[in-house]
A and B are shown apart, each in its own frame.
Chain A
Amino acid sequence: MTVTEAPQGTHRLTTSKAMVEAIDQEMAGDPSVFYLGEDVGQYGGIFSSTTGLLDKYGPERIIDTPISETAFIGLGIGAAVEGMRPIVELMFCDFMGVCLDQIYNHMAKIHFESGGNVTVPMVLTMAAGGGYSDAAQHSQCLWGTFAHLPGMKVVVPSSPADAKGLMTSAIRDDNPVVYIFHKGVMGLPWMAKNPRTLDEVPEGEHLVPLGKARIARPGSDVTVVTLSLSVHHALDVADKLAGEGVDVEVVDLRSLVPLDRETVLESVAKTGRLVVVDEDYLSYGVSGEIVASVAEVDPGMLRVPARRVAVPDVPIPYAHDLEYAVLPRQDRIEKTIRAAL
């Protein structure tokens, strides 16, 4: 369910522009909101996450930082503890390795360790995903790793409207929220064209609750549980299979923490078939968690064994054909759905 205020107009935006619109509206209404990170000022974010905001809010609130992720994430945590609402951009999720202590030992634990007395109302944004030959250190998703570590919410929008609604909710949430945007859903002019990255977005205040999945396409034959760019690929396959009389339900998780297990269970109870599509690594991750969510409640719901389409446990290749071979793209999703029927 999408929560909005009174009926309002919509306009067509790319996902990146929808994300910027949410940040802009929250910054206009709340002086404690500010944005910092590498190349977020004059450059506007290397994946257009902050385009135009420097001109509007100036360098006091749109802050370009040096290349020291530990230092500027720590700065954000300090500001959040003191009552600000910082949005901090870690340029690529792949860079978590150089600053993870700030993220999982400090940002995520201060609320617990203070006995609930201190909150950390911070948003940590980062780009994820492959498909454009950026190789092993700039193409990962890693959302399963953040979701595995307790103390932070994790959201992963797939559409322009959700990008806006989840950002607004993330900024207003009193918990640390990791907001992961796949480069392939942003609608960037220099990336592969993807028609699902441009869509109608509510113009005014728009909130999407954290922890509520969305039925991206209702269907009755098989449930595909997925997130982010893989939602687009799954919808492509669903459109194709519909021509053959196969009715695919696509569940867009939108949020990994909290995880909307109810919506997954309701869908699988209806279809009896489960395929999980995840661009993160296969083992010890989101896809296993979804299958476990069903198996723990009632494995009898599954009329056939659950199946997973994910990145096999290898670093993402640079070579285009090899990269496409490991990514969960339309070909692998279609083959797996057919096998599950």
Chain B
Amino acid sequence: MTEVLFPPLSKDSPEAEGVLATWFVADGARITADQLLAEVQVDKVSAEVPAPVGGVVHLLVKEEEAVRQGTPIARID
């Protein structure tokens, strides 16, 4: 099992909250390593989150949901 964390977009404030802007995969989908999983955003800065490993992805947060940096957003089994 691999957890996918919300990336640290704001270096100045590690506690900053961001938003899960877009999921590019569906819950339960089979994915490959490096596949684009999500786009996340802190203030006006956005970043892509690729899959660290392949497997079956489980989404832990919904689109538009506020998420603290470093929080797990998905699990890959």
| Contact indicator A189/B25 (Cβ below 8 Å) | no
Contact with A12, one of B19, B25, B44, B63 (Cβ below 8 angstroms): B25
Given A189-B46, A193-B64, decide whether A12 and B41 contact each other with a Cβ distance below 8 A: no
| Contact indicator A198/B44 (Cβ below 8 Å) | no
Encoded as 1 (CB less than 8 Å from any B CB) or 0, chain A from 179 to 202 comes to: 000000001011001000010000
Scan residues 174-222 of chain A and give those whose CB is less than 8 A from a CB of chain B.
Answer: 187, 189-190, 193, 198
Query: CA A246 – CA B63 in complex, angstroms?
Result: 32
Measured between beta carbons, the chain B residues less than 8 angstroms from A14 are 22, 39
| Contact indicator A189/B39 (Cβ below 8 Å) | yes
| Contact indicator A190/B46 (Cβ below 8 Å) | yes
| Contact indicator B41/A190 (Cβ below 8 Å) | yes
Query: CA A13 – CA B22 in complex, angstroms?
Result: 10
B53 within 8 A of A: no
Scan residues 1-53 of chain B and give those whose CB is less than 8 A from a CB of chain A.
Answer: 19, 21-22, 24-25, 35-36, 39-41, 44, 46
| Contact indicator B46/A198 (Cβ below 8 Å) | no
Measured between beta carbons, the chain B residues less than 8 angstroms from A190 are 41, 44, 46
Measured between beta carbons, the chain A residues less than 8 angstroms from B24 are 11-13, 198
Query: CA A261 – CA B67 in complex, angstroms?
Result: 49
Query: CA A12 – CA B57 in complex, angstroms?
Result: 15
Minimum CB distance partner of B19 in chain A: A189
For chains A and B in complex, what number of residue pairs have CB atoms within 8 angstroms? 23
Measured between beta carbons, the chain B residues less than 8 angstroms from A12 are 24-25
Measured between beta carbons, the chain B residues less than 8 angstroms from A17 are 36
Scan residues 222-251 of chain A and give those whose CB is less than 8 A from a CB of chain B.
Answer: none
Encoded as 1 (CB less than 8 Å from any B CB) or 0, chain A from 15 to 39 comes to: 0010000000000000000000000
Scan residues 295-338 of chain A and give those whose CB is less than 8 A from a CB of chain B.
Answer: none
* Least CB distance, B34 to chain A, in whole angstroms: 12
* Least CB distance, A186 to chain B, in whole angstroms: 12
| Contact indicator A198/B41 (Cβ below 8 Å) | no
| Contact indicator A189/B41 (Cβ below 8 Å) | yes
Query: CA A193 – CA B36 in complex, angstroms?
Result: 19
Query: CA A14 – CA B41 in complex, angstroms?
Result: 15
Query: CA A14 – CA B22 in complex, angstroms?
Result: 9
Query: CA A11 – CA B30 in complex, angstroms?
Result: 12
Contact with A198, one of B19, B22, B64 (Cβ below 8 angstroms): B22
* Least CB distance, A100 to chain B, in whole angstroms: 31
* Most chain A beta-carbon neighbours within 10 Å: one of B21, B22, B24, B64: B22
Measured between beta carbons, the chain B residues less than 8 angstroms from A13 are 24
Measured between beta carbons, the chain B residues less than 8 angstroms from A189 are 19, 21-22, 39-41, 46
Minimum CB distance partner of B47 in chain A: A189
Query: CA A13 – CA B41 in complex, angstroms?
Result: 17
Query: CA A198 – CA B36 in complex, angstroms?
Result: 13
Query: CA A193 – CA B63 in complex, angstroms?
Result: 10
Measured between beta carbons, the chain B residues less than 8 angstroms from A198 are 22, 24
Measured between beta carbons, the chain A residues less than 8 angstroms from B19 are 189
Measured between beta carbons, the chain B residues less than 8 angstroms from A193 are 63-64
* Most chain A beta-carbon neighbours within 10 Å: one of B35, B39, B64: B39
B interface residues (Cβ-Cβ under 8 A, vs A): 19, 21-22, 24-25, 35-36, 39-41, 44, 46, 63-64
A interface residues (Cβ-Cβ under 8 A, vs B): 11-14, 17, 187, 189-190, 193, 198
- A–B Cβ pairs within 8 angstroms, 5 of them: A11-B24, A13-B24, A14-B39, A189-B40, A198-B22
Kindly list the 5 A-B residue pairs having the minimum CB-CB distance in the complex, ordered from nearest. A189-B21, A189-B41, A189-B46, A12-B24, A189-B39
Given contacts A189-B19, A193-B64, 6 further A-B contacts (CB under 8 A): A11-B24, A14-B39, A189-B22, A189-B41, A189-B46, A190-B41
